[in-house]
């Protein structure tokens, strides 16, 4: 009996250590009121994205849920309006696997929304499932789609500076090794999927790093954020059905709830004073060092150039973010020469005029080439 009690005590003690060191997430502070500001959160119909959007809405922001499914996106927008008491939560259709959909979203957003203060790239996939595409679907959804969307929305972000871009990455980036000769090759089999997922998360970290360099002096800062081990749909989406009942209790014990996973992305979006750390990787609401492959500036620039090609950005579009946009003309598209064959859906039951935000509490970013210590 004594041995049994001792074993139970050791197990409980080990779980407490795991919970407080790995599972429990530090709460996000940051700017208390976001009234008059607009945020876009991709993949916000469930999990981490939905909890992120909820907190932004509770702080008074106008929140755009950029989701692939109209049914689930509109249902999430309704839930968030009810729970936050903020009627300015709307749905807009976005399928990151389709570059045409990304362009259509950007055009519709720029024509209807005068502000963009926070852009959070939360949407992602960990497996191709049964979908067969003639390209690397994981890289397309996790990196190329967000890369193109950021590029198309940069004029509005610059106009509303100081503003922020947050790219939700993962500790899996430490296993990533980008092969630039086969970036966009289709992924076949679960082993290739594991490798492609890690590569796409490494691409997220390098993208944030190079974006910070490209945006130096503009007032737009960017961060890669690791949400931690989270019990979300991404974790169980591709697990065989017979295994789910076994894994769910274990996931509940050792993984964070989506609300906990949202804390680091929210920290990067809202915390004051982190502007000097633009381009860095955050975990548990603080800067974390990354392996050499994730801080290779040459690889980051090479990925940037390869991403422009894979996103189909032409020379005229490459110059567009440096031009002064005219937000007073909401009908101006972001790329007049680009086709937008896909229909875009906007759900906004309670439109309201936008007010000028109080940006007095947000400091401008100071970009430093030598990475500061946290």
For the chain of 374 residues, list the mean pLDDT of each consecutive stretch of 10: 57 47 61 94 95 97 97 98 98 97 98 98 87 89 98 98 97 94 89 93 98 97 90 58 63 74 96 96 95 96 97 70 39 35 46 40 40 53
Q: Give the global pTM.
A: 0.77
Could you tell me where the DSSP H helices lie in 311-344? 315-318
2 contacts: CB under 8 Å, gap ≥ 6: none
**Angle in degrees, 0-180, between the axes of helices 297-310 and 190-214, rounded to the nearest 10:** 100
Closest CA to 227 of 149, 118, 122, 126: 122
Q: Is 223 a catalytic residue?
A: no
Q: Are strands 281-283 and 220-226 parallel, antiparallel or unpaired?
A: parallel
Going along 139-287, which residue ranges are E strands?
163-168, 220-226, 281-283, 286-287
User: What strand order describes the sheet that includes 38-42?
Assistant: 286-287, 281-283, 220-226, 163-168, 118-121, 38-42, 62-67, 89-93, 346-347
Q: Could you tell me the domains of the chain?
A: 31-311 (3.40.50.720)
Query: What is residue 332's predicted lDDT score, i.e. its pLDDT?
Result: 35
Q: Which of 337, 257, 285, 205 is nearest to 26 (CA)?
A: 285
Task: Pick the catalytic residue from 19, 197, 223, 267.
Answer: 197
pLDDT, residue 235, reads: 53
Token pair belonging to 112: 């209807």
Rounded Cα–Cα distance for residues 68 and 57 (Å) = 20
136 vs 51, 132, 182, 354, CA distance in Å?
Answer: 29, 9, 9, 39
């Amino acid at each position: 009996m004594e041995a049994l009690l001792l074993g139970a005590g050791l197990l409980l003690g080990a779980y407490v250590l795991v919970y407080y060191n790995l599972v429990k997430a530090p709460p996000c502070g940051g700017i208390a009121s976001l009234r008059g500001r607009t945020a876009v959160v991709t993949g916000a119909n469930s999990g981490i994205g939905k909890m992120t959007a909820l907190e932004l809405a509770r702080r008074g922001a106008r929140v755009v849920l950029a989701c692939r499914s109209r049914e689930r996106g509109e249902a999430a927008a309704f839930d968030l309006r009810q729970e936050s008491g903020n009627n300015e939560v709307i749905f807009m259709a976005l399928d990151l696997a389709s570059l045409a959909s990304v362009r259509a979203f950007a055009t519709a957003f720029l024509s209807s929304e005068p502000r963009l203060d926070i852009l959070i790239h939360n949407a992602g996939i960990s497996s191709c499932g049964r979908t067969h595409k003639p390209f690397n679907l994981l890289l397309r959804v996790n990196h190329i789609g967000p890369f193109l969307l950021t590029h198309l929305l940069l004029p509005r972000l610059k106009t509303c500076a100081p503003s922020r871009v947050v790219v939700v990455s993962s500790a899996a980036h430490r296993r990533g090794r980008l092969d630039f000769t086969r970036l966009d090759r289709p992924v076949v089999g679960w082993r290739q999927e594991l490798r492609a997922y890690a590569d796409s998360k490494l691409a997220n970290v390098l993208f944030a790093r190079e974006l910070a360099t490209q945006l130096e002096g503009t007032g737009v800062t960017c961060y890669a954020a690791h949400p931690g081990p989270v019990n979300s749909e991404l974790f169980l989406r591709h697990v065989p059905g017979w295994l789910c009942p076994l894994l769910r209790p274990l996931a509940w014990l050792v993984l964070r709830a989506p609300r906990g996973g949202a804390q680091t992305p929210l920290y990067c979006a809202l915390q004051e004073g982190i502007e000097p750390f633009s381009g860095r990787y955050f975990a548990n609401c603080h800067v974390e060092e990354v392996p050499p492959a994730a801080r290779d500036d040459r690889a980051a620039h090479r990925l940037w150039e390869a991403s422009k090609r894979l996103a189909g950005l032409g020379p005229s579009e490459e110059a567009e973010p440096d031009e002064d946009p005219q937000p007073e003309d909401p009908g101006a598209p972001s790329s007049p020469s680009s086709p937008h064959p896909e229909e875009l859906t906007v759900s906004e039951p309670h439109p309201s005029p936008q007010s000028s935000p109080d940006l007095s509490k947000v400091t401008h970013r100071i970009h430093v080439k030598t990475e500061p210590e946290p």
